[in-house]
Chain A
Amino acid sequence: MKANPKDVLTGVHYIDGDVASGYGILAAGCKFVAGYPITPSTETAETFARVAPKGNAMFIQMEDELASISAVIGASFAGVKSMTITSGPGYSLMMDAIGFGAMLESPFVLLNIQRGGPSTGAPTKTGQADMMQSRWGSHGDYEIIAISPDSPQELFDYTIKAFNLAEMYRCPVMIMSDECVGHMTEKVVIPPAEEIELEPRRLYDGPPSEYLPFKPDDDFIPKMAKAGAGYNLYISGHVHDERGYPVINEKFKSVYLRRLVDKIRRNKEKIIELKEEYTDDAEVIVVSYGISSRVAVRGIEKARKKGIKIGNLRLVTVWPFPDEKIINLAKTTKAFVVPEINHGQIAFEVERCCHGKANVVLVPHSGAGVHNPDDIYDAIVLAAKEKKKIEGIVEYKTKLEKLVFEGDYKLKE
């Protein structure tokens, strides 16, 4: 299915990531966005509110984030593509409903323009510390999809892809961007509508009396029906059988939860998108995502000039995690360097997949800024020099961190 020309602002734009995502939402055919203002994601909501009438879509500003995401799931079952936009504390408030959306197999998209935390933290500054929350934030067991764009162009492109993945796998899809990419202004090329491929909803077309809302197809994913069309849907956050009726016992819990998890895990190869270069014979591989992958480029180039065989693996899809890729690379490489704007989240996933076969160096950052590329370079040099296998994760002390530690947690003016 192609995008509707009315929804696509074809042309060359010079806009920031937030605005690009707003245009992406429209191009994806999304008809309902609910949100609550929170820095630094507001421009996306404002952009969509402004352009929505072009696509006969609407933006509603709800009373809080709990209401926003609940309305988005309601709209999803009313039969339209829907989405919410948030950041920081707003993301935390949405956790209950994210599990609800996963349980209901509700297709919707959530854009998180990550900011500094915890709590109010550094609202106007960048961060990448919600990555684990995006995977495990709601209670209970479930799988979701999370992608991490690194430019305004990608925020446009991957907003559309997020909707496609949500419809394909019937699950919440998170766009885990960050303040830096959100507020970075660059050239964004929006192609003509006929070049934008959209995934239509997997709708059931048989007789309503025979419809089972949670009967999976061969690929583990059930077909949907719209509310208000005579299907007598039964949609519940309880563990449910194929009719949607609550059945709370060990057997059904296993049948249902297993499928909820497997529909993502068994389709991993189709879902995961990575960008890699020179990883085949690399002695050190930088694993990064979002803004950190943009910053890492400079460190990588510097190391390459110094003759270090350096590979670059960029996680466009962060969840589901590319276990197999890391496991295979760990067999041939000496070390992974993982720069991220937190004190270790994805680095621990890399270490888990390494099984001690390669060293893992975390280049941490407390947020409110991005890495100094020289720190990433230094960490690469350190990793390349190291001859012995080091158990656990190696935390690289960046220049900023050394200043803090050596200053006894006090910064000299």
Chain B
Amino acid sequence: METLKTKKMKEVHPMENVLRMDRIPHIWCPGCGIGLAVTAFAAALEKAKIDLNKVAIVSGIGCTGRVAGYVKLDSFHTTHGRAIAFATGIKVANPDIKVVVFSGDGDLISIGGNHFIHAARRNIDMLVICVNNFIYAMTGGQVAPTTPLAVYATTCPFGSVEPPINIPYLADSSGAVYVARWTTLHIRRLTNSFIEALNKKGFSVVEVISPCPQYYSRVNRLGDGLDMMKFYHDNTEIRHGEDTKNLDIGFQSKIIMGKFIDRERPSYTERFD
């Protein structure tokens, strides 16, 4: 009698081409949104049909700062706040390299805020992906320049008294040529934004609103990652082309998303030539 022979299938991760599988499992907490942002980015890299050998990804420090290390590109995990400055060096020294900066709100907007403004002003050709979880998560949930008013954090135990920064408005007024915002729930739209921005010449910014169940939603009694996704589902509105002045985010307020800026300006390298 013939026995049924089963052939063991080799399991292949669908994103093996763009992720460093030998680095998985990653360090992010259950319910964290950074993995979703990476998934969208990995999908965008494949769909954008760009030569992956010519893409460098630069991160700073923090939870999102770890992204560079999981993506199978030329990965640079730099010092706190200096990802954009480091990326500027790569891009200017070798304009053939496509440069992506993937980092968090604290890294890019607080300690690295100056570099963000000036790279946008120069219009250095790079895509900046800013994962905004409203908090310093790697260090244990301290207040960030993006923390909405009245939110609790370990270094503002009575609620934040500082008005938060509006990242798309900052990018717009500094001269970015492409500015969009999505949440980690809106993966398809986020992926499309990444593809558009990857093919855009100039300083492009995509803000990704992401849940931090450990240090933001738990501390503020907002539930876990799934509850945050439900909140994004119920409290977001797409308004393409919205004036970036109107994009402030309050505590549990409605989040306006969409593509706000898509314009042409000569990039730094073009002007230099």
Interface residues of A (CB under 8 A from B): 31-32, 34, 58, 60, 62-64, 66-68, 70-80, 82, 96-97, 100, 226-238, 245-246
User: Which residue of A has the minimal Cβ distance to B118?
Assistant: A63
Cross-chain contact of A32 among B69, B74, B89 (Cβ < 8 A): B89
Cross-chain contact of B74 among A66, A70, A72, A228 (Cβ < 8 A): A228
Q: Is the CB of A70 within 8 A of B89?
A: yes
**Can you list the 8 inter-chain pairs with the closest CB atoms, starting with the nearest?**
A74-B89, A71-B89, A75-B93, A67-B85, A70-B85, A230-B53, A236-B77, A70-B82
Cross-chain contact of B79 among A31, A79, A96, A246 (Cβ < 8 A): A96
Q: Is the CB of B77 within 8 A of A238?
A: yes
Asked if B96 lies at the interface with its beta carbon under 8 angstroms from chain A, I say yes
Most central of A72, A231, A236 by chain B CB within 10 Å: A236
Asked if B90 lies at the interface with its beta carbon under 8 angstroms from chain A, I say yes
On chain B, the residues within 8 Å of A80 by CB distance are 93-94
Asked if B114 lies at the interface with its beta carbon under 8 angstroms from chain A, I say yes
Asked if B189 lies at the interface with its beta carbon under 8 angstroms from chain A, I say no
* Known A63-B115, A100-B79; contact A233-B74, beta-carbon cutoff 8 A: yes
User: Which residue of B has the minimal Cβ distance to A74?
Assistant: B89
On chain A, the residues within 8 Å of B54 by CB distance are 228
Asked if B76 lies at the interface with its beta carbon under 8 angstroms from chain A, I say yes
CA distance A147 to B68 in the complex (A): 35
Interface flags for B158-189 (1: CB within 8 Å of A; 0: not) read: 00000000000000000000000000000000
Interface residues of B (CB under 8 A from A): 20, 22-23, 53-54, 56, 58, 68-69, 72-82, 85-90, 92-94, 96-97, 114-115, 117-118, 272
Q: Is the CB of A228 within 8 A of B96?
A: yes
The minimal Cβ–Cβ distance linking A4 to chain B, given in whole angstroms, is: 17
On chain B, the residues within 8 Å of A66 by CB distance are 81-82, 85, 115
* Known A63-B118, A67-B115, A237-B79; contact A227-B89, beta-carbon cutoff 8 A: no
Q: Is the CB of A34 within 8 A of B89?
A: yes
On chain B, the residues within 8 Å of A73 by CB distance are 78, 86, 89
Instruction: Count contacts between A and B, CB distance < 8 Å.
Output: 125
CA distance A207 to B94 in the complex (A): 22
On chain A, the residues within 8 Å of B56 by CB distance are 227-228
CA distance A361 to B73 in the complex (A): 56
CA distance A58 to B23 in the complex (A): 37
Q: Is the CB of B77 within 8 A of A67?
A: no
Q: Is the CB of A229 within 8 A of B53?
A: yes
CA distance A62 to B114 in the complex (A): 10
User: Which residue of A has the minimal Cβ distance to B80?
Assistant: A96
The minimal Cβ–Cβ distance linking A143 to chain B, given in whole angstroms, is: 19
Q: Is the CB of A235 within 8 A of B77?
A: yes
* Known A74-B58, A245-B23; contact A231-B74, beta-carbon cutoff 8 A: yes
17 further contact pairs, Cβ within 8 A, besides A72-B89, A74-B88, A233-B76 = A32-B93, A60-B88, A60-B92, A67-B85, A67-B118, A74-B89, A74-B90, A75-B89, A76-B89, A77-B90, A96-B79, A97-B79, A227-B74, A234-B77, A236-B76, A237-B78, A238-B77
The minimal Cβ–Cβ distance linking B69 to chain A, given in whole angstroms, is: 6
On chain B, the residues within 8 Å of A236 by CB distance are 68-69, 75-77
Q: Is the CB of B86 within 8 A of A71?
A: yes
On chain A, the residues within 8 Å of B81 by CB distance are 66
CA distance A226 to B97 in the complex (A): 11
Most central of B77, B87, B93, B96 by chain A CB within 10 Å: B93
Q: Is the CB of B97 within 8 A of A227?
A: yes
CA distance A60 to B23 in the complex (A): 36
User: Which residue of A has the minimal Cβ distance to B89?
Assistant: A74
CA distance A230 to B81 in the complex (A): 27
Q: Is the CB of A67 within 8 A of B93?
A: no
Q: Is the CB of B78 within 8 A of A100?
A: yes
CA distance A368 to B48 in the complex (A): 58
CA distance A79 to B91 in the complex (A): 11
Q: Is the CB of B114 within 8 A of A74?
A: no
User: Which residue of A has the minimal Cβ distance to B72?
Assistant: A232
On chain A, the residues within 8 Å of B68 by CB distance are 236
* Known A232-B72, A232-B74; contact A58-B272, beta-carbon cutoff 8 A: yes
Can you list 25 A-B pairs, Cβ within 8 angstroms, ordered by A?
A: A32-B93, A58-B92, A68-B85, A71-B86, A72-B89, A74-B58, A74-B87, A75-B90, A77-B90, A78-B90, A78-B97, A80-B94, A227-B76, A227-B97, A231-B74, A232-B72, A232-B73, A233-B74, A233-B75, A234-B20, A235-B75, A236-B75, A237-B78, A237-B79, A246-B77
Cross-chain contact of A63 among B53, B94, B114 (Cβ < 8 A): B114
The minimal Cβ–Cβ distance linking B247 to chain A, given in whole angstroms, is: 25
Most central of A32, A58, A60, A226 by chain B CB within 10 Å: A60
User: Which residue of A has the minimal Cβ distance to B83?
Assistant: A70
On chain B, the residues within 8 Å of A72 by CB distance are 89
Q: Is the CB of B82 within 8 A of A75?
A: no
On chain B, the residues within 8 Å of A232 by CB distance are 20, 72-75
